A and B are shown apart, each in its own frame.
Chain A
C-alpha cells in the first residue's frame, strides 16, 4: 500500500468509568484496536453486542473521547485537535446513525436538516440552497419533501434524509453505524443499493459497522471481526467468509441462517457454550477462551497477537490455534 490510508487507527482504547453501588469500576469497551481504511475502500467492523464496534466508530469521530491511542485522517492526527480545528476536520468524516427516527431533530424540516451542516460551516445561502436540491436528488427524495417533518416519512425515507444530511458537506469518509438494522427487510435492500450507488458515484470510503453478516457481505471489501473490545480477525471479505481462521468468526458465520432450506438444513451450526464475559473483568489472555472449544492453558496465559498465519498477508488473526486448513469448514458456506 503506497497511498496514505484515509483512516488510520492505532491501539485505540476506550474505558468508561461506571459507578456501581458506590464503587467505581471500569468498563473496557475498546481495548487496543488498530486498522486502516484505504481511500475508496469499505471496511466492515462486525461483531455482536458489547464487542465495542459502535464505540470504536464514535471514538474515531470524537463523538466519544478515546482514552488513548491514535486516529489519523489522511495522515493528520485527529485526537490532539482543538475545538475549531476539529470542526474543520468534521467536513471530511461524517456518520449515519442506526435509528432514523431518533437521529433527526423532530422539529426541523428536511430543508433545515440538510442545510444545517452547510450553514454550520459557513456556506453562503445560494450555495446552501443549490446543494440542498442536489442532496435531495442524490437520495431520490422530491422537492415537495423539503417542507415536511421527519415524523411524516417512512423509516426508509428517514434514513435517506439521514444519509443526505451526512453527505451535505461532502465528506470523504462515512461511518455507518448499523444503517439498516432498524428497517424492514424489504426496505433494507433499497437503502443498501443506495449506499452502494453513492459509494461509486462519490468515491466514498466506508467504515460499515454492523452485526448482520449477510448484509455486510454485499458491500464490504474487508471485514474486521470484534469480540469483547478486540479485533480477532481481519482480512479481505471473501477470505474471511470462506476461510475464517478464528473460532469466533467460524461460530459467528455458522450461526447466521441462510434463507434457503436446501442449504440451511445441511449446515452444521456451531453453538457456543456459556455467556459473554463481563467487560469490566474480561478473561486473561485470549478473551474468547471461556467459550472456545480449542482453548488450552496457553490461551489463558498469553494474549494472542493479530498476525498473519498463512496465505494472504492481508488476512490476520489473533489466535494461538487458528484454523488454517484450505478446505472450507463444515458448517461454513462458500
Chain B
C-alpha cells in the first residue's frame, strides 16, 4: 500500500468576520497518492478552494487547525519560511483566473525565472531564462524563445494559463493543485489545458489535485473524487463506481440535475433550495434542508465517512 503524498486529517478552517466566526472547512479528511488525479468537487460555499489554500498557508487571516502532512511533515502551524520551501517547490498551485494571476509589469520569462531562482539558489539568471523557454515549449506555446519576452497582456487566456502551468512545474513538484483551472476558459481551450495536464502528469509522474465544480471534467480526467458539501466531504471514492452508483443524496442529486450532451431529455430533477452557506448551517447533517431522504436522526448529529459499496459516504441514512 503506497504512502500518500498529502494526508489531511480533521482539517478545520475558520474565518473571523464582523458577523462572527465562519467555519469554511469543518473536519476534512483527504489523501493524495503519488501520480494520481484527485478531483475535489463542490459548489459555492463548499470550501473546496479554501481547503488547499489553507493547507499551503495562503490564508493568513484564517484559523487553521487539524493535520495536513506532506510526506509525513506536518504543515499546519509550520513557520512560513519552512512552508515556502514546500510551496512552489514540492507542492505547486495554479488558480482560476489567468488574467489576474500574472504580474502585468514583468515579462513572463522574468516571472518564471524569479520563481525558479527562489527555490533553486544556484541557478543563474541566464540559465533560468533558458529553462523558462524550454518549459514554454513543454506547455505547447509556439515560438517559446520569443514569447519568453512577452508581457501577460499580450497573451490570450489559454496561453496565460499554460504559462501558469509552466511556472508551476518549473521546480519539479510532486503535487500540482489546480484550482478551477479551466472555469474561466472556453470549452475548446479547456480541452487543450486538460490534455496538457494529462500529458504532464504522465511525463513527470505528477499528482494532480483538481478543484472543480464541473463533473464532466471529473469524469474524463480524474481517478478519484471527493465531493464536498458545507465544508466537509460528503462522498469520496474512485470515479467510475461513484458515478455509476452514487451513495450520498447530494451526489445523486448533482448527477441527476446535470444536462448531458448525449441526452435530449429535459433535466428532470433539481436539488431544491440553495447551497448551504457556512454562515448559517442547520444542526446535524448540513444537507438536511435539501434532502429527499431525511429521517429524524439526520438533524441530531453530523454523519462521518463510512463505507457504502465501493465508495465512502457521510450519511446516516445510507451508510
Chain A in direct contact with chain B (Cβ < 8 angstroms)? yes
Inter-subunit contact A258/B267 (CB<8 Å): no
Inter-subunit contact B187/A256 (CB<8 Å): yes
**Chain B 295-315 per-residue mask, 1 if CB under 8 angstroms from chain A, else 0:** 000000000000000000000
Measured in the bound complex, the distance between the Cα atoms of B186 and A190 in whole Å is 24
Counting chain B CB atoms within 10 Å of each CB, the highest count among A186, A217, A333 belongs to A186
Given A185-B254, A186-B254, the answer on whether A255 and B270 have CB atoms closer than 8 Å is no
A104 at interface (Cβ–Cβ under 8 A)?
A: no
B10 at interface (Cβ–Cβ under 8 A)?
A: no
Counting chain A CB atoms within 10 Å of each CB, the highest count among B159, B189, B243, B270 belongs to B270
- Tally of contacts, chain A with chain B, CB under 8 A: 139
B24 smallest CB distance to A (angstroms): 17
Given A196-B266, A252-B187, A255-B187, the answer on whether A214 and B253 have CB atoms closer than 8 Å is no
Measured in the bound complex, the distance between the Cα atoms of B263 and A271 in whole Å is 23
Residues of A within 8 A of B188 (CB): 48, 251-252, 255, 272
A133-157, CB < 8 A from B: 154, 156
**Chain B 236-261 per-residue mask, 1 if CB under 8 angstroms from chain A, else 0:** 00011001100000000111011111
Measured in the bound complex, the distance between the Cα atoms of B214 and A212 in whole Å is 12
Residues of B within 8 A of A274 (CB): 142
A-binding segment of B13-21, B95-103, B190-198: B190-198
Measured in the bound complex, the distance between the Cα atoms of B262 and A218 in whole Å is 10
B277 smallest CB distance to A (angstroms): 9
Given A193-B266, A217-B259, A238-B264, the answer on whether A48 and B186 have CB atoms closer than 8 Å is yes
B275 at interface (Cβ–Cβ under 8 A)?
A: yes
B-binding segment of A4-12, A53-61, A109-117, A260-268: A260-268
A160 smallest CB distance to B (angstroms): 13
Residues of B within 8 A of A259 (CB): 215-216, 218-219, 243, 255, 258, 260
B220 at interface (Cβ–Cβ under 8 A)?
A: yes
Inter-subunit contact B267/A269 (CB<8 Å): no
Residues of B within 8 A of A263 (CB): 219, 262
Residues of B within 8 A of A300 (CB): none
Residues of A within 8 A of B279 (CB): none
Inter-subunit contact A265/B267 (CB<8 Å): no
A219 at interface (Cβ–Cβ under 8 A)?
A: yes
Measured in the bound complex, the distance between the Cα atoms of B255 and A239 in whole Å is 26
**Chain B 61-86 per-residue mask, 1 if CB under 8 angstroms from chain A, else 0:** 00000000000000000000000000
B156's partner among A215, A219, A270, A276 (CB-CB below 8 A) is A276
Inter-subunit contact B259/A260 (CB<8 Å): no
Counting chain B CB atoms within 10 Å of each CB, the highest count among A213, A251, A259 belongs to A259
B261's partner among A184, A190, A192, A256 (CB-CB below 8 A) is A256
Measured in the bound complex, the distance between the Cα atoms of B194 and A264 in whole Å is 13
Inter-subunit contact A186/B271 (CB<8 Å): yes
The residue of chain B having its C-beta at the shortest distance from the C-beta of A248 within the complex is: B188
Count chain A residues whose beta carbon lies closer than 8 angstroms to a beta carbon of B: 50
The residue of chain A having its C-beta at the shortest distance from the C-beta of B274 within the complex is: A154
B230 smallest CB distance to A (angstroms): 13
**Chain B 260-291 per-residue mask, 1 if CB under 8 angstroms from chain A, else 0:** 11111111011100110000000000000000
Counting chain B CB atoms within 10 Å of each CB, the highest count among A154, A190, A264, A270 belongs to A264
B201 at interface (Cβ–Cβ under 8 A)?
A: no
The residue of chain A having its C-beta at the shortest distance from the C-beta of B269 within the complex is: A189
Given A218-B267, A271-B192, the answer on whether A186 and B216 have CB atoms closer than 8 Å is no
The residue of chain B having its C-beta at the shortest distance from the C-beta of A214 within the complex is: B259
B190's partner among A215, A255, A267, A275 (CB-CB below 8 A) is A255
Measured in the bound complex, the distance between the Cα atoms of B214 and A237 in whole Å is 23
The residue of chain B having its C-beta at the shortest distance from the C-beta of A265 within the complex is: B220
**Chain B 203-242 per-residue mask, 1 if CB under 8 angstroms from chain A, else 0:** 0000000000111111110000000000000000001100
Inter-subunit contact A192/B191 (CB<8 Å): no
B260's partner among A211, A214, A254 (CB-CB below 8 A) is A214
B158 at interface (Cβ–Cβ under 8 A)?
A: yes
B106 smallest CB distance to A (angstroms): 21
A208 smallest CB distance to B (angstroms): 13
Measured in the bound complex, the distance between the Cα atoms of B224 and A22 in whole Å is 53
A2 at interface (Cβ–Cβ under 8 A)?
A: no
Inter-subunit contact A219/B266 (CB<8 Å): yes
Inter-subunit contact A189/B267 (CB<8 Å): yes
B172 at interface (Cβ–Cβ under 8 A)?
A: no
Inter-subunit contact B275/A186 (CB<8 Å): yes
Measured in the bound complex, the distance between the Cα atoms of B244 and A255 in whole Å is 22
Residues of B within 8 A of A271 (CB): 191-192, 195
Measured in the bound complex, the distance between the Cα atoms of B268 and A250 in whole Å is 27
B43 at interface (Cβ–Cβ under 8 A)?
A: yes
A103 at interface (Cβ–Cβ under 8 A)?
A: no
The residue of chain A having its C-beta at the shortest distance from the C-beta of B196 within the complex is: A271
A261's partner among B240, B258, B261, B264 (CB-CB below 8 A) is B240
Please list the 7 inter-chain residue pairs (A to B) with the smallest Cβ-Cβ separation, ordered nearest first.
A257-B216, A48-B186, A189-B270, A333-B262, A255-B191, A189-B257, A259-B215
Ordered by A's residue number, 5 sampled pairs between the chains whose C-beta atoms are within 8 Å are A184-B43, A189-B267, A190-B270, A256-B261, A271-B195
- Tell me the B residues contacting A by CB distance below 8 Å: 43-44, 142, 156, 158-159, 186-192, 195, 213-220, 239-240, 243-244, 253-255, 257-267, 269-271, 274-275
Instruction: Add 7 more A-B contacts to A154-B274, A186-B257 (CB < 8 A).
Output: A214-B259, A217-B260, A256-B216, A257-B217, A261-B244, A263-B262, A264-B220
